[in-house]
Amino acid sequence: MSDIYINRHDQQLGPFPKEEVPDLVASGKFAWDDLAWTEGMERWGPLHRAVAFDPARPVTLREEVAEEPAGFFRELPRAFAYPFSGSSGWIILFCGTVMVFMRHVVGIVPLLGWIAYVLLTGYLFAYLFSVVRDSAIGEKDVAEFPSISDAWEDLLMPVCRVVGTFLGCQLPAVGAAVALGTSGHLEQWVWLPLALAGVGLFCFPMSLLTVVIFNSVAAALNPAHILPSVARVFPRYLVIVMLLFGTLVAITLLGELAIYILGDLLAMPLVAFLGFYSLIVQARILGLIYRTNEEALGWFSHEPR
C-alpha cells in the first residue's frame, strides 16, 4: 500500500504507511479531516479521502463531474438552507439554540458562570470549525456536534484561536495608534490606524479560514499568506465579506426588533435561535471560500517535499 503525507498544525509529516493511518487517528495523533496527500492525488485533500484513494481504479466522467464543486454563486443561496439539511438539522438547531441561550444566562453569574460561559463559547466555536471543515471538503449535510476528549484542546483552544486571530488582525492598527500617540501626531494621522483596523476586519474571515484549515494561528497571521490569498479571489472574497458582515448586522437588528416587540424574557429564545442559525450560515459561507476556490488559493496544490 502507498504512503501518505499528512499536514498537521501547518507542518508536513510523514510519509506514513496507509494501513497504519486508522491506528494513528484512533490514538488522537491525527484527525480524519486533516489534509493529506498520497501518490496519484492531484491535490491535497482530507485524510479519509487519501486513505480511500486508489490510483489504479478508473474514474468515470460522471464521478469526475460529481466531485467537481459547484460555482460559488451557485452554492451561496444553499448556505441559508444548510442548517436545516440532513436528518439531524433541526436537532442541531434546537441544541445549539439551547447552548446560546445558556451562554446568556450563565454569563450573569460571577466566576463559575463566567467559566461556564467560556466553555460553552469554546464548544460553539469548535462546532463552527467543524462546519467550516465539512463545507471545505464538500459535505452537504449539516455537521454533527464534535465529541470532547480534552477540555483544553476541544474547548479552550478554539476560543484562544478565534480571539488570538482577531487581536492579531488588529495588531497593526493598535501599534500605529500607540506609535502616533507617543509621537504626538495621532490627530494628524488618525486615519492611518482606522484604515489599518478596516484592513484587519476585512482580512479576518480569510485568517479565520486559515486557522481552521491549517489548525495554526501563526499561519493565519502571516501577511505573506493572507494578503496573496485575498488577492487571488478578491471579487468573490469581497462579496463574502459584505455578506458575512451584512448577515451579522441583519440578525442583530432582528434580535433588537424582537426584544422591542416581545420584551427581553420572551425574545431571548428567538434571539438565541437567530444567533445560532446565523453562525452556522456564516461558517458554511466561510468553508465555501475554500471549497469553490481551492485551485485559485493553491494552499495545498504542490506535492510533498
CATH number at residue 39: 3.30.1490
Structural domains counted in the chain: 2
- Is residue 187 in some structural domain? yes
The residue count of the chain comes to 305
pLDDT (tens digit per residue) in 44-82: 777 877 877 666 554 443 333 334 455 778 888 889 999
How far is CA 181 from each of CA 123, 174, 177, 185, rounded to the nearest angstrom?
39, 10, 6, 6
Per-residue cell: 177: 495608534
Domain membership of residue 25 as a residue range: 3-67
Identify whether residues 27 and 145 lie together within a single domain.
no
pTM of the model: 0.78
- Is residue 163 in some structural domain? yes
- Is residue 303 in some structural domain? no
Identify whether residues 170 and 285 lie together within a single domain.
yes
- Is residue 150 in some structural domain? yes
Nearest to 206 by CA among 174, 244, 176: 244
**Close Cβ partners of 248 (under 8 Å, ≥ 6 residues apart):** 278, 282
Reading the chain (305 residues) residue by residue, the pLDDT tens digits are 578 888 876 678 888 888 888 888 877 788 777 788 888 777 777 787 787 766 655 444 333 333 445 577 888 888 999 999 888 899 999 999 999 999 888 877 888 888 999 999 999 999 999 999 888 878 888 998 988 888 888 899 999 999 999 999 999 999 999 999 998 888 889 999 999 999 999 999 999 999 888 777 888 888 988 999 999 999 889 988 998 888 888 888 988 898 889 888 888 899 899 999 999 999 999 998 888 888 788 776 655 55
Identify whether residues 187 and 47 lie together within a single domain.
no
Identify whether residues 61 and 108 lie together within a single domain.
no
Phi, psi of 97 (to 5 degrees): -60, -40
Identify whether residues 123 and 223 lie together within a single domain.
yes
Identify whether residues 200 and 104 lie together within a single domain.
yes
pLDDT (tens digit per residue) in 144-184: 898 888 888 889 999 999 999 999 999 999 999 999 999 88
Identify whether residues 48 and 119 lie together within a single domain.
no
Identify whether residues 8 and 89 lie together within a single domain.
no
